[in-house]
Amino acid sequence: MSLAEFAALCAALAATRSRLVKTRLVGEFLRRLAVAEVPSAVAFLTARPFPAADPRVLEVSWATLRDALAAAGPAAADPVLTLGDVAEAFAHIAAASGAGAKRARTAALASLLARATADERRVLGGILLGEMRIGLHDGLIQEAIAHAAGVGPELVRRAALFLSDPAEVARLALSEGAAGLERAGVRLFVPLLPMLAEVADGFEEVFAAQPAGAALEVKYDGARVQIHREGDVVRIWSRRLSEVTASLPEVAAIARGELGGRQFILDGEVIGVSADGRPLPFQDLMRRWRRIHAVEATARDVPVVLRLFDCLLLDGRPMVDEPYAARWETLARLTGGRHLAERLIPADRAQAEAFLAAALAAGHEGVMAKAVDSPYMPGSRGKRWLKVKRAETVDCVIVAADWGSGRRRGWLSNYHLAVADGAGGFAPVGKTFKGLADQEFGEMTTRLRALAIADDGYTVTVRPEVVVEVAYNEIQRSPQYRSGFALRFARIRRVRDDKGPQQATTLVALRALYERQAAAKGRVPGPP
C-alpha cells in the first residue's frame, strides 16, 4: 500500500464528520491491505509510529522534525513511498542510540522526508507529533475493523478489552476472523485496559448505585500500574499501556521476591513519598516516570511505595469475571496482606465519611467505592467503581481557544485558561476541552468569535471577558506557563456570567492554594 493512498484516506477522513462515512472509508482501506501492513496502518491512523503494545519510541520532537525538514529540502514531486518504507524508517530511527543518536535520528528522518510529497509530509508530521486531526477514536477504529473483517462489532470490542492494542485487534480480525477474536482473553505480558471509575457526588449516590455493598479504598494520588509476572520475569505497564519496568526496579523486586504465585497479573498504584512517609505531589512522581537512565539516583530522590488493589490472573486462571470480593481475597492471600491499598467495608454513611476524612487528612485524593459483586471490566467506566473526593475550583478567564477536530470540528473547544496576574493582565494556567455539552460548545464558539482579536487558523486569541469556574485535581509547578503553575485535570464546571474578568482568581490566591496543597503533602527539594 502506498503512503500516497494512506494520505488520501486521511484527507477524506478530515473532510467528513460522518461516523458512518469514516467507518466505511477506514474499513475498506484496511480490507485492501496485506496482513503484514495492518498493524502499522492502524498505528499510523491512531497517531502512533508503532502499535500501542510496541515499547519502541522515536524520541522525535518538533525541533527534530523541523531540522529534518530543512535537511530534506523540497518535497518530492511524485509519490514513491509505501507504508512498509515508513515502518522500516521508523524502526531505524528508534534503533539509534549512544553518542550521536540525535544526529542519526535527524538524518534518518530527513532521508524519509526527502522521498515524501507535501501531502505525505503532512501525514508523517501528524504521526510523529501524535496529532492526526482526522477525527478517529477507539470506537470508530473498532467499528472499521469489524467492517473490514466482516465480523460483529461486539466481537471486536470484546477483543479490544483484553488486547488493548487496536493494531493487534485488527491483525487478529483480518487474519483469523471471528474465531480468532473469540479466543482473545487475558494474556500474560499483554496489558489490559484498566477498569475506570465515575465520579460520585457523595456516599448517598455510592450506596444507591452499589446495593450489594461497597468496599472503600483510599484513592492515592499516584500512577496506575499493571504488574505481570511469570517466574522471575516481571514487566510493568502504566495506565496508558507504556512499559515502565526499567523505571520502577523496587516495584519489580517486590513482585519477584515478596509475592506468592509464579504467574499473575496485578492492578495497583505507585505513590511517591517524602521522608516522613506522606504522599508527594503527582508532579514529583512524574520526575521518575519512564526514567531509564540514572534510575537509582532518581529513586533516592523520589522513593515510591506500591499499593495493590486487584488480581486479574493467577497461575493461569483469569480472575476478571470473578466478583470483586473474591478477587480481593485472592490478592490478600497472594500478598500476605502486604502492599495492599488501605480498605474498609463501611457499615453506614458515618463510617464512610470518616474514612474519606482520614484519607484527605493523610494527603490523599479521596476514596474509591467498589461494588463487592462487580467483575473487572477492562476499559469500562461506570458505577461499579465510583470515586469520591473533594474537588477544588478556581475562577479563570478564557484568553484563547483552539479549533476542534473530529466530533468537535467547527467549534472553538479547547480553552486557554488564565488567572488575574495582579498587574491588569492574565497569566495562563493551562487548557481544557472538558466540561461543556455540545450545545454549549456551539454557544461558546459564537461568543468567543465575537471577542476575537487574532486567528492563526488553529488558535483564536480573544479579549479576556469570559469567566469560567474550573475544577481541578492538583496545582502543579510548570515552566510552560508564565504564571509558573498549571491545573491538572482541569474541567469547566460552569460559566460565571455573574463575574467580570477582574473578579477571577488571582495569581497570588493560586499560589496560596498551591502552598496549602503542598502543606498536606511531602515535597521534594529543588525545582519541579
Segment 331-369, tens digit of pLDDT: 999 999 999 999 999 999 999 999 999 998 898 989 999
Residue 266 belongs to domain with CATH number = 3.30.470.30
Segment 7-24, tens digit of pLDDT: 999 999 999 989 999 999
**Domain end (from 360, 389, 418):** 389
Both 241 and 341 in one domain: the answer is yes
DSSP state of 187: B
Q: How far is the C-alpha of 212 from the C-alpha of 220, rounded, in Å? A: 25
Both 75 and 59 in one domain: the answer is yes
Average pLDDT over residues 24-28: 98
Q: What CA–CA distances, in Å, run from 148 to 6, 25, 153, 177, 181?
A: 16, 10, 11, 10, 14
Cβ-count burial 311-337 (b if 16+ within 10 Å, e if not): bbbbeeeebbebbbbebbebbeebbee
Q: What CA–CA distances, in Å, run from 94 to 54, 98, 115, 318, 435?
A: 11, 12, 19, 34, 38
Range of the domain at 253: 196-389
Check if the beta carbon of residue 275 is closer than 8 Å to that of residue 326: no
Instruction: Give 515's pLDDT tier (boundaries 50, 70, 90).
Output: confident
- Sequence-ordered strand ranges (E) for 3-147: none
Segment 387-418, tens digit of pLDDT: 998 778 899 999 999 999 888 889 999 999 99
Instruction: Give 423's pLDDT tier (boundaries 50, 70, 90).
Output: confident
Check if the beta carbon of residue 342 is closer than 8 Å to that of residue 218: yes
Q: What CA–CA distances, in Å, run from 180 to 36, 173, 185?
A: 16, 7, 10
Check if the beta carbon of residue 503 is closer than 8 Å to that of residue 395: yes
Residues found in the chain: 528
Question: What's the pLDDT score for residue 335?
Answer: 97
Average pLDDT over residues 309-322: 96
Least confident of 212-221, 263-272, 275-284: 275-284
SS3 state at 98: coil
Q: How far is the C-alpha of 31 from the C-alpha of 24, rounded, in Å? A: 11
Least confident of 79-88, 241-250, 308-317, 441-450: 241-250
Instruction: Give 521's pLDDT tier (boundaries 50, 70, 90).
Output: low
Tell me, rounded to whole angstroms, the distance of Cα 301 from its chain centroid: 25
* Mean predicted lDDT score pLDDT of the chain: 92
Average pLDDT over residues 260-280: 91
Instruction: Give 525's pLDDT tier (boundaries 50, 70, 90).
Output: very low
Instruction: HSE, CB side, 13 Å, CA atoms: give it for residue 164.
Output: 25
Task: Using the predicted structure, report yes or no on whether residue 526 has a pLDDT greater than 70.
Answer: no
Give me the amino acid identity at 484. G
Q: How far is the C-alpha of 430 from the C-alpha of 503, rounded, in Å? A: 19
Higher pLDDT, 281 or 145: 145
For the chain, the straight-line distance linking the first and the last C-alpha, in angstroms and rounded, comes to 46
Percent of all residues in the chain with a pLDDT value above 90, rounded to a whole number: 71
Residue 376 grid cell? 473487572
Residue 434 belongs to domain with CATH number = 2.40.50.140
Residue 268 grid cell? 495497583
Q: How far is the C-alpha of 502 from the C-alpha of 297, rounded, in Å? A: 45
> Phi/psi at 465 (nearest 5 deg)?
-125, -25
Both 463 and 321 in one domain: the answer is no
- Is residue 524 domain-resident? no
Residue 39 grid cell? 498493524
Question: What's the pLDDT score for residue 293?
Answer: 62
**Domain end (from 159, 183, 207):** 183
Check if the beta carbon of residue 446 is closer than 8 Å to that of residue 380: no
Task: Using the predicted structure, report yes or no on whether residue 297 has a pLDDT greater than 80.
Answer: no
Question: What's the pLDDT score for residue 277?
Answer: 82
Question: What's the pLDDT score for residue 243?
Answer: 86
Average pLDDT over residues 449-453: 94
Check if the beta carbon of residue 166 is closer than 8 Å to that of residue 42: yes
From 108, 112, 110, 115, select the one nearest 79 (Cα to Cα): 115
Give me the amino acid identity at 217. E
Q: How far is the C-alpha of 30 from the C-alpha of 246, rounded, in Å? A: 35
Both 179 and 227 in one domain: the answer is no
Check if the beta carbon of residue 131 is closer than 8 Å to that of residue 161: no
Question: What's the pLDDT score for residue 527?
Answer: 40
The number of helix segments (H) and strand segments (E) in the chain equals 18, 19
Question: What's the pLDDT score for residue 497?
Answer: 82
- Number of domains composing the chain: 3
pTM: 0.68
From 251, 259, 250, select the one nearest 231 (Cα to Cα): 259
- Is residue 190 domain-resident? no
SS3 state at 405: coil
Q: How far is the C-alpha of 4 from the C-alpha of 517, rounded, in Å? A: 52
Both 145 and 234 in one domain: the answer is no
Question: CB under 8 Å to 378, separation ≥6 — which residues?
Answer: 161, 162, 164, 192, 193, 194, 195, 320
Q: What CA–CA distances, in Å, run from 452 to 326, 456, 466?
A: 57, 11, 12
Residue 279 grid cell? 504522599
Least confident of 52-61, 71-80, 216-225, 346-355: 52-61
Residue 152 belongs to domain with CATH number = 1.10.3260.10
**Domain end (from 389, 408, 433):** 389
Instruction: Give 300's pLDDT tier (boundaries 50, 70, 90).
Output: confident
Among left, alpha and beta (phi > 0; psi -120 to 50; other), residue 489 is left
Check if the beta carbon of residue 241 is closer than 8 Å to that of residue 165: yes
- Is residue 258 domain-resident? yes
- Is residue 415 domain-resident? yes
Task: Using the predicted structure, report yes or no on whether residue 49 has a pLDDT greater than 90.
Answer: yes
Both 381 and 412 in one domain: the answer is no
Both 204 and 172 in one domain: the answer is no
Question: CB under 8 Å to 187, separation ≥6 — which residues?
Answer: 162, 163
State the Cα torsion 499-501-504-506 to the nearest 10°. Answer: -160
Both 162 and 234 in one domain: the answer is no
- Is residue 98 domain-resident? yes
Both 421 and 376 in one domain: the answer is no
| 219 catalytic residue (yes or no) | yes
Task: Using the predicted structure, report yes or no on whether residue 148 has a pLDDT greater than 60.
Answer: yes
- Grid cell 503512503 — which residue? 3
Give me the catalytic one of 219, 387, 431, 521.
219
From 391, 384, 411, 414, select the one nearest 402 (Cα to Cα): 414
Q: How far is the C-alpha of 9 from the C-alpha of 13, rounded, in Å? A: 6
Both 7 and 42 in one domain: the answer is yes
Both 375 and 404 in one domain: the answer is no
Q: How far is the C-alpha of 328 from the C-alpha of 318, rounded, in Å? A: 14
From 226, 228, 235, 404, select the one nearest 309 (Cα to Cα): 226
Higher pLDDT, 10 or 280: 10
Task: Using the predicted structure, report yes or no on whether residue 226 has a pLDDT greater than 70.
Answer: yes
Segment 82-110, tens digit of pLDDT: 999 999 999 999 999 889 999 999 999 99
Cβ-count burial 350-370 (b if 16+ within 10 Å, e if not): eebeebbeebbeebbbbbbbb
